[in-house]
Every structure is written in structure tokens, then in C-alpha cells.
Copies of this chain bind each other. A is one copy, B any other.
Amino acid sequence: MTERVFNFSPGPATLPLPVLQEVQQNLLALPGVGASILEISHRSKTFEQIIAQAEENIRRLLNLPEEYHVLFLQGGASLQFSQVPMSFLRGSGRSADYIVTGSWAKRALAEAQREGDVRVVWDGKGDNYSRVPQPGEVQIDPRAVYVHFTSNETIQGIQFATGPETGDVPLVCDASSDFLSRPIDVKRYGLIYAGAQKNVGPAGVTIVIIRQDLLEQVPDNLPTMLNYRVHAEHRSLYNTPPVFAVYIVMLVTRWLLENIGGLEQMHAINRQKAQMLYDAIDRSEGFYRGHAQADSRSLMNVTWRLPSEELEAEFVKQAKEAGLHELKGHRSVGGIRASIYNAMPIEGVRTLVEFMEHFRQKHA
């Protein structure tokens, strides 16, 4: 019997146990195939069914209209930071609007600035990136080629309730850390990209959802591997895709559909888990101090400080001894961060809340 801890890593992150068990069971040979998922051709019928099923699961979970394509790419969100402006901004003679809410939005901005003119239409620096803009607070340029935002900032632990209103300007979203964690109104988006390693799979595959009209704008002169249209035309099989990572995405999205029941149910569970932690912070009489402002609290990454850095180090150390791993906050924010993506069970959060109460009683 292998002992598993509660893993609060911000990503790569914990995966659903039934998924891991199925992967393990079939690791030497897929049933009826005689070879491991790690060994089969991406041109085989077996894999064509797997990637088609992964796409179909995502379509069902998001109620995706026909005019949206689902791509399975490589390079992480970090490559998308460049691929988006290379596709739509470079050479357009116009500018793109960026909403800067934290560490990841800043990285996206920096890559866009290499490719063309960019306007920062909101920056949370004055509030130490503790909140997202509220509706009406952001003035979009109606001539912008697109508006880019980061739906959840993993490092700061802040999250948009819904994305900004952009009218006819295409909305582009880095959804790496809250993709498929709740329903979204897809029709408001032109392009959504997400590294899989938080909510939907292991590191190594990036999911891009792109609307047909944007696909048609992609210039022909890009490197072939950076051309969304090529990947759409080849259904992500222009070259060898990350077969194993796509397989896990298929299993995780199936788990979302069959074990959880869809994104409404997943959202309810995620709200419940986050509420348990924010309640523990709020009733701690100032011992735990959340980083995020109340209206911007993330359901995925809960960040908080303790009265001293010594106590924070002690908290992380004792938590680990109690089987609660990877709770150290990012160095740029400090303190504690509990990442509670889809696959973190309620039991893990309950155990953490109990640990928080005990720790506070001992050290307050």
C-alpha cells in the first residue's frame, strides 16, 4: 500500500486518485492494444480515439459552440504569451489591451511587448496585486486587437468572478489555473489557453480554445508549429503531440463528467473547499491574514500570512509532518499558499483547517 499525502502544490498539482489508478493499471499495456500508452503511435486508431474523446469531453463540459476549436499544444502558457501576440498583434498597426493583475499577467505582458504595441489598461500594483478590477473599472480601447486577462493569479491568490466586458473586442484569457474549475460563458471569449498542470492533467500539454474568426486572422508567415490554423486543420496531429499528457486530460475530463457530474457540481465543491479555508482565516482574530481582498479571493489558491516569518516556517514544517505538503507561499508574496484545485479532496482541506486551528491555539 503506497501512502499518499495531501499535496497542496500550486502546479503540477494533485490529480484524481481514480485517474492515477487507471493509468497505473494499464501502464504496461492498454487493454486490447498490447503496448503502453507511452509507446503507441499518435497515428494509431487507439490514440485518435483518445484525443477525440478528450476534445469531446471538453466540449461537453464547456457547452462549446461549433465555431470553437480545441487544440492540444506544447510549450505551456509561457509559449502562448508569445503565440497570441505573434498571431494577432504583430504587424496589425493596432494595439492590444492588457489587464495586469499579478505575476502571470506581467509575464504575458512582457512577451506581448516584444511583438507590438500594448496598452496596460489596469494594473493592481498600487494594491500589491491583492484584487482584480471590478466591473466598469477597466476602459477598453474599442479598436484594440484583443483584451488579455489572467482569470486566476496562482501566486497572489486572486481570481476574477467573471471576465471583463469587452464588447466586440476579442477577449483572450490565460485560464491556466482555473480552467474547467467552474462554468464559463464561452461565447464571450475569442481565445482561452491553459497549461494542463493545475486542474486537468500533468505538465506537458497546453489546451487552446480558439474561435473560428480569430483562427482565420492568423498570418501565414509564422513558424508552422506556432500557427494555430495548422494545428486546427490537423486536429493537433500536425506533429507528434504529447500523447501521454493528452491521455491524462481525457481521463481527468471523463472523471469531471462522470464522477463529479460537470462544472456546476465542480464549482460547488470548489466554493465549499475555499470557503472552509477563508472561514478559518476570518475567524482567526488576525492570526491568519489573507492576502487577497474579499471580493477577489481565489477559489484555487488561498494565500495568507502569519504574525512572523518564523511562525510561517514553523507552520510549513509542522504541516508537512502532518501529511499536508507544499504549503509554502511563493517568495514574491511570502506566507502560506494552499492550492486546492479540482482534484484536492474536501478531506484534504478539512485536515488543513483542523491543523490551522490547532496551530493557532498553540501559537496565538
Contact = CB atoms under 8 A, between A and B. Distances in A.
A261 interface: no
A202 B244 contact: yes
Nearest to A224: B111
Chain copies in the assembly? 2
B11 A20 contact: no
Interface in A80-94: 81-82, 86
B75 A39 contact: no
A124 to B, nearest CB: 22
Interface residues of A, number: 66
Contacts of A162: none
A173 interface: no
B203 A240 contact: yes
Interface string A217-240: 000010111100000000000111
A48 to B, nearest CB: 14
Interface string A1-22: 0111101011111110100110
B15 A36 contact: yes
B12 A240 contact: yes
A272 to B, nearest CB: 22
Contacts of A332: none
Contacts of A244: 202-204, 244-245
Contacts of A290: none
B11 A240 contact: yes
A52 interface: no
B245 A12 contact: no
Contacts of A15: 36, 38-39
A20 B28 contact: yes
A15 B202 CA distance: 20
A345 interface: no
Given A114-B223, A202-B243, 14 more contacts: A3-B34, A9-B40, A10-B41, A17-B28, A20-B38, A23-B27, A24-B24, A24-B28, A27-B27, A41-B326, A75-B75, A76-B225, A82-B225, A86-B223
Interface of A: 2-5, 7, 9-15, 17, 20-21, 23-24, 26-29, 34-36, 38-42, 44, 74-79, 81-82, 86, 110-111, 114-115, 195, 197, 202-205, 221, 223-226, 238-245, 248, 323, 325-326
